[in-house]
Amino acid sequence: MANLSGPSSTEADAAAMRAFLGALLPPLMGLMLLVGIWHLATMNGGSIPTPGKTWEAAAKLFADPFYRNGPNDQGIGWNILASLQRVAIGFGIAALVGIPAGFILGRFATMASMVNPIISLLRPVSPLAWLPIGLLVFKKADPAATWTIFICSIWPMIMNTAQGVMRVPQDYLNVARVLNLSEWKIVTRILFPSVLPYMLTGIRLSIGTAWLVIVAAEMLTGGVGIGFWVWDEWNNLKVEHIIIAIFVIGIVGLILEQTLLLLARRLHTEA
Amino acid sequence: MEKFVKIENVGMSFDTRKGKFVALRDIDLTIKQGEFVSLIGHSGCGKSTLLNLIAGLTLPSSGVLLCANREIAGPGPERAVVFQNHSLLPWLTCFENVHLAVERVFAANENKAQIKERTTKVLELVGLAHALHKYPGEISGGMKQRVGIARALAMEPKVLLMDEPFGALDALTRARLQDELMKICDATRATTVMVTHDVDEAVLLSDRIVMMTNGPAAAIGEILAVDLPRPRERLTLAHDPQYMDYRSAVIEFLYAKQSHPLAA
């Protein structure tokens, strides 16, 4: 037994190692290629800093991410957190309005045909077009940015939730009819679980949009936030900080998306 | 009760883009309490449509259906349905799937412990005591169909309606579930209507076999009374001349009088 399990377990380990490397190697090579091209393009001088210089700047920046030197000079950590907070508030309100609205549109066809043209009209509007309306109504920069997040991230949640409600399998609804379930049980035991995957897709798309929009909105409204920080560093001509910000924005967006994907996979039930 | 389920002059047509499609016409049928009736016919003959009418999931275009002298105006727990594809809710365990049905029917008169006991008992009846807390995704097709049957039985329905309950199962599992169903029906004396396309299944289980003509505009072709003593035993019946006669009568109807629409 010992003789048999010895070599086979090392073989299994080796196979797992190969699979791990196989999964990790290509993305790593892609990343190295990107940095390589970046280095080749910038090593002869010019306005864009090299990867090395950017790395040094990043190390300095992240050595103390949470300092405060007055309202317009705060660490990058504070800027990220400020942006995330705005996204959370705007997106949170959008979810509170959008998900129930999606349920209503999915359940009542008349409502859907009433509201769908309006949604189609408003959905493609650029976030920046909404910002002046927010400034006008709220008279302050911060709620205006939140409003912009709200209005841009609400559409995917409405549309995906409505789609999910419309696609609840007829079989399940027949079960509900034969069992003569109450409206409450229909919502909690059949509609909600069956719409959940669609809802999560909507939430994921919404968060993505919200994170896209916040940078643009903050560039215009100022204050604290990653978008404002990018604009501020452009005014200071610290180009390496702008590149760092691009990476930071990308990584935060990636983490948000992956977290929701993970959540969706955890909640997925197989028929 | 002689005429427990009464179907009087029922017709069913659907509005389609190409105009009116007549699925069923002139259906007259009465079913006695405790009787086991099979509906058999080629695919597309409207046998599932007829079952849905008895279930109340669809309402007839003409005619009237009665159950225990009351008009069938919609679905209800006194006419439980075992669906073709089991239709269990995948996010609930076997226990919870059945519990949902039991709760709805008995919550008014029984306490929580009694309802739980009912749920467990009916799952034990179909041999699933070991799988109470498994999710539908974790059990086999045969087990899922048993949960579907348990869910229907648990409501103690006046009529048990089954839409090709064993159609999706392999032959061995199907035979075992047929035997179990026979025992359950003998024990509960449930009035049962089953849609099937399996001749042996129809003869083995039924008191009467309703043979339907080909659609569109399908009607009842012949009704065969199966006068075999119960309890029935699959193995002894296999060589029983009377059983063979019934079997060939159904086959005669299906393949000589109503040859398959695709073969015609």
Interface predicted TM-score (ipTM) of this complex, two decimals? 0.82
Picking from B57, B90, B101, the nearest residue to A179 by CB comes out as B101
**Do B249 and B256 contact (CB within 8 A), yes or no?**
no
User: How does strand B159-163 pair with strand B191-196?
Assistant: parallel
Q: Quote the minimal CA–CA distance from A191 to chain B in Å.
A: 11
DSSP structural state of residue B214:
P
Domain that holds residue A134: 75-270
CB-based contacts of A234, cutoff 8 Å, min separation 6: A242
pTM (whole model) above 0.80: no
Q: Quote the minimal CA–CA distance from A262 to chain B in Å.
A: 18
Q: How far is the C-alpha of B5 from the C-alpha of A223, rounded, in Å? A: 75
Picking from B80, B85, B92, the nearest residue to A171 by CB comes out as B85
Give domain status of residue A47, yes or no: no
Whether the pLDDT of residue B162 is over 90: the answer is yes
Picking from A180, A190, A270, the nearest residue to B89 by CB comes out as A190
Whether the pLDDT of residue B106 is over 80: the answer is yes
* Sign of the dihedral through C-alpha B179, B184, B187, B190: negative
Contact A271 B75 (CB under 8 A): no
Instruction: Name chain A contacts of B91, Cβ cutoff 8 Å.
Output: 193-194, 269
**Do B62 and B10 contact (CB within 8 A), yes or no?**
yes
Q: How far is the C-alpha of A85 from the C-alpha of A224, rounded, in Å? A: 11
**Do A106 and A166 contact (CB within 8 A), yes or no?**
yes
Of A248, A245, A210, A211, nearest to A230 by C-alpha is A245
Three-state SS annotation for B49-85: HHHHHHHCCCCCCEEEEEECCEECCCCCCCEEEECCC
| Chain B residue nearest residue A168, CA to CA | B89
CATH number at residue A244: 1.10.3720.10
The contact set of A with B (CB < 8 A) is: 171-172, 174-175, 177-182, 185, 189-190, 193-194, 269-271
Interface test with B, best of A178, A183, A195 (most B CBs within 10 A): A178
Contact B87 A177 (CB under 8 A): no
Give domain status of residue A104, yes or no: yes
Contact B89 A189 (CB under 8 A): yes
Query: For B119-161, how does the pLDDT look when each residue is reduced to its tens digit (9 = 90+)?
Result: 999 898 888 889 999 999 999 988 999 899 999 988 888 899 9
Interface test with A, best of B58, B104, B145 (most A CBs within 10 A): B104
Whether the pLDDT of residue B109 is over 80: the answer is yes
Contact B89 A178 (CB under 8 A): no
Q: Quote the minimal CA–CA distance from A178 to chain B in Å.
A: 5
Count of CB contacts below 8 A, A vs B? 55
Q: How far is the C-alpha of B56 from the C-alpha of B148, rounded, in Å? A: 18
Q: Quote the minimal CA–CA distance from B246 to chain A in Å.
A: 34
* Residue B14 three-state SS: strand
R_g over Cα of chain B? 19
**Do B167 and B84 contact (CB within 8 A), yes or no?**
yes
Give domain status of residue A5, yes or no: no
Contact B77 A172 (CB under 8 A): no
Other CB atoms within 10 A of residue B28 CB? 12
* Residue B117 three-state SS: helix
Give domain status of residue A103, yes or no: yes
Q: How far is the C-alpha of A147 from the C-alpha of A131, rounded, in Å? A: 8
Contact B74 A175 (CB under 8 A): no
Ramachandran region, residue B63 (left: φ > 0; alpha: ψ -120 to 50; beta: rest): left
Give domain status of residue A222, yes or no: yes
Instruction: Name chain B contacts of A195, Cβ cutoff 8 Å.
Output: none
Q: Quote the minimal CA–CA distance from A198 to chain B in Å.
A: 15
Give domain status of residue A172, yes or no: yes
| Chain A residue nearest residue B152, CA to CA | A179
Q: How many structural domains is chain A composed of?
A: 1
Picking from A179, A193, A194, the nearest residue to B104 by CB comes out as A179
Contact A175 B135 (CB under 8 A): no
Mean pLDDT of the region B38-61? 91
Residue B5 β-bridge partners:
B31, B67
Q: How far is the C-alpha of B221 from the C-alpha of B210, rounded, in Å? A: 8
**In the prediction, which pLDDT does B53 show?**
94
* B159's tokens: 């009529």
Picking from B57, B90, B100, the nearest residue to A174 by CB comes out as B57
DSSP structural state of residue A68:
B
**Do A127 and A213 contact (CB within 8 A), yes or no?**
yes
Contact A179 B89 (CB under 8 A): no
Give domain status of residue A33, yes or no: no
Contact A178 B81 (CB under 8 A): yes
**Do A168 and A232 contact (CB within 8 A), yes or no?**
no
**In the prediction, which pLDDT does B264 show?**
45
Residue B10 β-bridge partners:
B27
DSSP structural state of residue B93:
-
* Residue B254 three-state SS: helix
| pLDDT, mean over chain B | 89
Q: Kindly give the parts of chain A with pLDDT less than 50.
A: 1-6, 271
Across A253-257, B244-248, B254-258, least confident range: B254-258
| Chain A residue nearest residue B55, CA to CA | A178
Contact A178 B100 (CB under 8 A): no
Give domain status of residue A116, yes or no: yes
Instruction: Name chain B contacts of A190, Cβ cutoff 8 Å.
Output: 89
Q: Quote the minimal CA–CA distance from B133 to chain A in Å.
A: 15
Instruction: Name chain A contacts of B90, Cβ cutoff 8 Å.
Output: 269-271
Interface test with A, best of B48, B51, B78, B100 (most A CBs within 10 A): B100
